[in-house]
Amino acid sequence: MPCCPSYAAKVATTWKPTDPKPRTHTMRFSEIHTGQVIHCGPARLSEQQITDFARDYDPQWFHTDAKRAAASTWKGLIASGWQTCAVAMRLACDEILAGSESFGSPGLAYLKWENPVRPDDTLSLRVDVLDLEATSLFDLADNQSRDLSSSARA
């Protein structure tokens, strides 16, 4: 049973990539090489999804209160950085890890939220394979102009 069944059920039933790519086969480690770039997505977060996630996991007012956020320095509601990470993980699972040989990750050495993600922004995941032993760079673009919303180094 998932650790957070209510959100897991919401994700499974309401969040879908906007244009899913059909998987033609399961990706194997032997198919990945240094210098490879893997694109996943896109996906879109609605205002409702942003506020639902925030109420459950990151209840700061700029994630939950659209009116107050509009009058703030953010000039509108923004998604939790942790939600952008969850979307990135979902995209990676759907398009790279599902059915693969992966048994987990040793974690991230670096994570930074570069720009806010706003309701209805189009999200995508770019994976640059830097090294096959332990390091990959993940970028999650937050909008159509490709402004970086977060980056991570594993």
| Domain regions of the chain by residue span | 5-16+34-153
Average pLDDT of the residues of the chain: 78
Highest mean pLDDT out of 3-17, 55-69, 85-99, 110-124? 55-69
Closest CA to 152 of 92, 123, 111, 113: 111
Q: Which residues of 74-103 are buried (b: 16+ CB within 10 A; e: fewer)?
A: eeebbbbbbbbbbbbebbbebbbbeeeeee
Q: Nearest 10 degrees: CA dihedral of 94, 96, 99, 105?
A: -100
Is the pLDDT assigned to residue 66 strictly greater than 90?
yes
CATH code of the domain made up of 5-16+34-153: 3.10.129.10
CB atoms within 10 A of CB 43: 22
Q: How confident is the model at residue 11 (pLDDT cuts 50, 70, 90)?
A: very low
Of 46-55, 90-99, 112-121, the one with minimum mean pLDDT is 90-99
Is the pLDDT assigned to residue 8 strictly greater than 60?
no
Q: Which pLDDT value is given to residue 110?
A: 86
pTM summary value: 0.71
